[in-house]
Structure 1
Amino acid sequence: MIAKRYLLPGRGEGFIFLVASISLVAVALGVAALIAVMSVMNGFRAELFDKILGLNGHAVVQGYGGRIEAWQPLQARLKALPGVVSATPLIEQPLMGSFGGRVEGVLVRGMTMEDIAGSRIITDNVRAGTLTRLQPGTNTVAIGARLAEALGVRVGDQISLINPQGESTPFGTVPRIVAYTIAAVFEVGIYDYDKAFVVMPMANAQTLLRLGDAVGMIEVVTDNPDRVGEILAPIVPEIAGQAVVNDWKTTNSALFSALVVERTVMFWVLSIIILVAVFNILSSLIMLVRAKTRDIAILRTMGASRIALMRVFMTVGTLIGGLGIALGCVLGFALLYFRAGIVAGVGRLTGTNLWDPSVRYLTELPAKTDPAEVIGIVLLALLLSFLATLYPAWKAASTDPVQVLRYE
C-alpha cells in the first residue's frame, strides 16, 4: 500500500515522478531494442542457414578438376555412412549468360529431375512459369529472379549460355553458345543465388559442359549438420587424390563467425541501455528517500522495522522496472511484427534504401524470436532493476527518527 502511494507524485514531487517516468521509458526502450535486435539476428542466421544448406547441402564431395568420373560407387559409399541422409550428384559451373545484348555471370547448376522436384527451396519459391517444363533434352532452364531482372527476360524468352571451353578450330578455340528457353523464374531469397543461378536437368548440363557421364560433385545431407565433419571423416582417406570434402562450416565459416561476433557485441551494447535506465531508477529512488525522510521517521516511531522499510523502496524500484519491462516487451514485439513496414517507411522518409539485398544478402528483413532469449532479457532487466533498489532501500532503513524529528 505504501509503495503504491509512493509511486504516485505527492505535493512538490513532480520532478521525482518525471525522473521515475523517464526511467520506466528507458527500461522499455532497452528491453524492446534487445528483443527486436536479437530476434532479427536470430532470424538472419536461421534464414541463411536454411537457404544456404537447402541449396548446397551440409557438405559436398568435389572432384579434382571439377569432375568425378566413376561417381556411382562413391555415391553408394556415401549413402552407406551412418548419419548420411542423402547423397546426390550435382554439376555447378560458372558461365556467362546473355540476352538482348546484356551479359551477366551465371552459375549453371545441373540436377536430376528427382532432386529438382524434391528441392523445396526451389519448388516453393517459383514466381513465374512451371518447373514441369524442365525435361532432359528440351533445352529449358529455370533462373533466379534477380538474374531475370538484370537480363530483362521473362518466361518463354531464350537465354544464351556461353561456355568458354568450346570447340578447337584452326583459328583457335570457339566458345560454345547454346540457347535455352526459360521455363520458370524462382526467388529463394538470397540475393547472390537469385542473381546467378541457372538450374537445368543433369543431362542438359553434361551436354553443355561436355562432361559425358561425369558429374562435378556429390551433395551430402546428414542428420546432424553440426556433426557433418565427424560423419564424413571415414570417407576422406578413401578419396584422397581424387576428390575433397567441403562442409558448410568451411565454406561459410567467415559469414557465420561474423554473425556470432555481431550478435554478441549487439547484445552487450544494447544491455548498456538497460543499465543506464537502471541508474535512472537508482537516482529517482534516492530523491524519493530524501523527500520521504519525515514519513520514514514517523513509520519507524510507529514500529515499522528496517526490513519493512527496505521492502517498501525495493518494491517501488522493482515495480518501475517491471512496468518498463512489460512495456518494452509489447513495444519489441510490435516492432518485429511491423518491421517490414517500418523499414520501408523510414526508407521513404530518408530517401535511402535501408535494406539493399545486394548488401544485406537476404531479400527481406528476417526475424526469429527465441522464447528462452526473451526470458533471459526479462530476467536480466528485472535483476538490474532489483539491484538498483538496494542502496536507496538501505539508506531509507538507516534513517534515525530521533535526528529527523528532533525539531518537529
Structure 2
Amino acid sequence: MNSFEWLIGLRYTRAKRRNGFISFISAASMIGIALGVAALIVVLSVMNGFQREIRGRILEVASHIQVSGQGNRLADWQTVANELKGAPKVLATAPYVQAQGLISFDGNVQGAMLRGVLPAQEDQVAGLGRHMVAGRLDALKPGEFGIVLGQDLARALGVGLGEKITMITPQGNITPAGMVPRMKSFTVVGLFRIDMYQYDAGLALIALQDAQKLFRMGEEVSGVRLKISDPLEAPYVSQQLAQASQRPLWFSDWTMENSQYFRAVQIEKRMMFLILTLIVAVATFNLVSGLVMAVTDKQADIAILRTLGASPGSIMQIFMIQGATVGIVGTLSGVLGGVLLALNVGSVVSFFEGLLGMQVLSPQVYLISSLPSEVLLSDVSAIGLISLVLAFLATLYPSWRAAKTNPAEALRYE
C-alpha cells in the first residue's frame, strides 16, 4: 500500500463525519470487538485455571498410577512394588487397601471411602500430609485403630480430634439371628482439608494393617500406588508398564479415574469459545454496516480521488485501512482488558461476593471454593488472530463497493 492510502484511511478513521450515526456504529463495533475478545480471554482463562486447580488437588490425594490384581486384591505386593520402583520415570510406590464403609458418631451416619495406607510411603506418592489441619498422618499406628478424616466429613459427623467413631463395613458376621454388619471403633487422630469437596467430605484414612484386619484381607492389599516424574505422562507410562509386566496386573492412571471432570471442562471450553466468538462476529457485522454507510457518505470524496488519478485498488485499500484500524484497536483493547481482568478475576469475584453477601462458587457443586485463572499465550494469540481475521474480512465488501463507485454518478448531484 502507498503512503497516501494510509494517510487518507487513517484520516477517515479519526475525522468527525457529517453523519454522527456512522461514528456511533464504528464506536459500537470497536467496543463490541473489545468486549468479545475480553470475554473470550477471561472465560478460557477461568476454564484453564479450573482444570489446573482440579488436577492439582486430585493429585494431592490420588496417585499418578494404580496397580491392582484380579478381584481388586494383590498378593506379594512387596515384590511388585520393588519391581515397579525400578522402572523408568517411577519415583515412589506405596501399597493401599481401599473399600467403602459407613462411619457413625452420636447418631450421625456418613458413607466414606476408606483407604488403608503406610503413612511414610503414602507421603511419597501423594501430598496429603501437607494438608493436615489437625493431628498428623503418621499418627496412624498399626493396631491402634486410629483414623484420619476429611474436615467436611468430620463436620458432618460432628466429631472432633481424639473422639471415637464406629466403623461399619459391608462384610458381615453370620450369627443365629442372620447376617450382622461388622463394626469397629476407631479414634480420630487427624483431620485434613484439600479444598476439594469430593475428598474432604468422603475420604478416611486408616493404617494399612488395620485395614487388612478390618476387611479380612490377610497379607494382601488392594494394589500399589505409583508416583512418576511427570503426571501428564501417566497414560503413556501406565501403558509402557503394562506391556513390560509379566504378571496379570491391572494398570490405571489418574486421568482414567477422573476423566469425566476434564472431559466436561474441555467440552465446556470449546462450546464457550464458539458461543463467545459470535460476540466478535456480531461486532464485525456492525463494522460492515458502518463501513457501508461511510462509503455512501464519502461518495463525493471517492469521486474526487478517482478524478485525481486514484485507482480502484487504492480506493479499496483506503476503506480497508479504515475498517482494519477499528478492528485492530478493538482487538488490542480487548486483549489488554481481558488479560488484566483474567489475572485479577479472583479478586474481582471476591469483591462482589463481599458486596452482595453471597458465594459465587459452592464447593459442593464446583469442587473448588475460589475462582482460579490461568492465562495461556496460545489462547490469547488464537483469540486475537481470529478477531483480526474477522475484522479484515468485514472490510472486504464495503471496500469493494467503494472501489466500484462511478465518479460521474457520484458527482452528479453534488
Question: TM-score by structure 2 length?
Answer: 0.86
How far residue 388 of structure 1 moved from its aligned partner, in angstroms, is 0.9
Moved more, 171-180 or 364-373: 171-180
The equivalent of 1:110 in structure 2 is 116
- Letter aligned with residue 118 of structure 2: T
Structure-2 residue corresponding to 1:62: 68
Aligned equivalents of 1:85, 1:206: Cα separation in 2: 25
Q: Distance in 1 between matches of 2:79 and 2:295?
A: 80
SS in 1 for 2:375: coil
2:95 is aligned to 89
| Aligned counterpart, 1:155 | 161
Residue of structure 2 equivalent to 1:231? 240
Corresponding position: 1:32 with 2:41: no
Q: Mean alpha-carbon deviation: is it higher for 212-221 or for 164-173? A: 164-173
Number of residue pairs matched? 405
Maintained 8 Å contact 1:82/1:231 = no
Say whether residues 1:308 and 2:317 are aligned partners: no
> Relative to structure 1, is the Cα distance of residues 340 and 157 closer, same or farther in structure 2, using a 3 angstrom cutoff?
farther
Is 1:50 aligned with 2:56?
yes
Q: What's the CA shift for 1:67?
A: 2.4
Aligned residue for 1:124, secondary structure, equals helix
Q: 1:41 aligns with which of 28, 47, 58?
A: 47
Aligned to 1:23: 29
1:313-347: CA deviation from partner (whole Å, max 9, x where unpaired): 22221221122222222332344344345556667
Is residue 377 of structure 2 the alignment partner of residue 371 of structure 1? yes
Give the counterpart letter for 2:97 in structure 1: I
Work out whether 1:141 is the aligned partner of 2:147.
yes
Q: Does 1:214 align with 2:220?
A: yes
- Percentage of matched positions with identical amino acids: 37
| 1:169-195 deviation digits (Å, cap 9, x = unpaired) | 444454443333333322223221111
Question: For structure 1, which segment, 285-294 or 62-71, has the greater mean C-alpha deviation from structure 2 after superposition?
Answer: 62-71
Q: What runs of 5+ residues in structure 2 fail to find an aligned partner?
A: 1-6
Name the CA shift for 1:126/1:319 in 2 (closer, same or farther; >3 Å): farther
The equivalent residue for 1:381 is 387
Name which of 362, 387, 410 aligns with 1:404.
Answer: 410
Q: Which amino acid aligns with 2:328?
A: G
Match of 1:321 in 2: 327
What letter matches 1:383 in structure 2? V
Q: Please identify, of 193-202 and 301-310, the stretch whose mean Cα deviation from structure 2 is larger.
A: 301-310
Offset of 1:348 from its aligned partner?
7.8
Corresponding position of 1:73: 79
Q: Shift of residue 290 of structure 1?
A: 1.0
1:283 aligns to what SS in structure 2? Answer: helix
**Distance of aligned partners of 1:335 and 1:160 in 2 relative to their CA distance in 1, 3 Å threshold:** farther
* Cα shift readout 1:185-222 (whole Å, capped 9, x = no counterpart): 22223221111111233233233333332211112344
- The amino acid that maps onto 1:61 is V
CA distance in 1: counterparts of 2:86 and 2:398, whole angstroms = 68
The match for 2:4 is none
CA distance in 2, matches of 1:336, 1:182: 42
Read off the aligned partner of 1:310 and give its amino acid letter.
M
**Pairs within 5 Å for 1:187-202:** 187-202=193-208
When normalised by structure 1's length, the TM-score is: 0.88
* CA deviation after TM superposition for structure 1 residue 31, in Å: 0.9
The SS at the match of 1:34 is helix
Deviation of the 1:102 alpha carbon: 0.8
Please tell me the root mean square deviation across aligned C-alpha atoms, in Å. Answer: 2.8
1:203-243, Cα deviation, whole Å (9 max, x unpaired): 3323333333221111234452241442133256621xxx5
User: In the alignment, which residue of structure 1 is the partner of 2:398?
Assistant: 392
In structure 2, how many angstroms separate the alpha carbons of the residues matched to 1:44 and 1:11?
47
The Cα offsets for residues 228-276 of structure 1, whole Å up to 9 and x where unpaired, read as: 442133256621xxx5333334433444333332222222122111111
Q: How big is the shift at 1:150?
A: 1.4
- SS at structure 2 position matched to 1:147: helix
Residue equivalent to 1:4: 10
The one-letter code of the counterpart of 1:212 is G
Structure 2 Cα separation of the partners of residues 337 and 361 of structure 1: 21
Show structure 1 runs of 5+ residues with no match: none
